[in-house]
Structure 1
Amino acid sequence: MPRRRFPLTRAPRTRAVALAALVVAPLAACAPTIGETPAEDAADPACAPVMLALPDTLAGDLPQRDTNAQATSAWGDPGAAVTLRCGVTPPGPSADCQRVESGAGAVDWIVVAGKDGTWRFTTYGREPAVEVLVPPSVTENHSTSFVGDLAQAVNTVPATATCT
Structure 2
Amino acid sequence: MLPARFVSASAAAFLLIAALGGCARTIGVEVAPDAADPKCAEVMLAVPDELGPDLPKVPTDAQATAAWGEPGGAVTMRCGVEQIGPAADCQHVDSGDGTTVDWIVTTDDEGTWSFVTYGREPAVEVIVPPSVTEDHSTSFIADLAGAVTQVPATKECQ
Q: Same fold (TM over 0.5)?
A: yes
Query: How far off is 1:25 after superposition?
Result: 6.6
Whether 1:50 and 2:43 are equivalent positions in the alignment is: yes
Which aligned segments of 4 or more residues in structure 1 are displaced greater than 3 angstroms?
21-29
Deviation string 1:17-40 (CA, Å, 9 cap, x unpaired) is xxxx99867644332100111000
**Residue 41 (structure 1) shift:** 0.5
Please give the secondary structure, in 1, of the residue aligned with 2:92: strand
1:71-130 Cα distance to aligned partner (Å, 9 max, x none)? 000000000000000000011110010000012600000000111100000000000000
1:116 paired residue number:
110
Measure, in 2, the Cα distance between the counterparts of 1:158 and 1:70: 21
Residue equivalent to 1:141: 135
Tell me, what secondary structure is at the counterpart of 2:116? Answer: strand
Provide the TM-score with structure 1 as the length reference: 0.83
Q: TM-score, normalised by structure 2?
A: 0.86
Superposition pairs of residues 79-94 of structure 1, within 5 angstroms? 79-94=72-87
Listed as ranges, the matches of 1:1-164 within 5 Å are 27-31=19-23, 32-102=25-95, 103=97, 105-164=99-158
Aligned residue pair count: 145
Q: CA RMSD in A?
A: 1.8
Larger radius of gyration: 1
Residue ranges of structure 2 left out of the alignment (5+ in a row):
1-12
Question: What SS does the aligned partner of 1:145 have?
Answer: helix
**Amino acid in the other structure paired with 1:149:** D
Separation in 1, partners of 2:91, 2:50: 23
Q: What is the deviation of 1:148?
A: 0.2
Which letter maps to 1:109?
W
Distance 1:45-1:23 versus aligned 2 partners, 3 A rule = farther
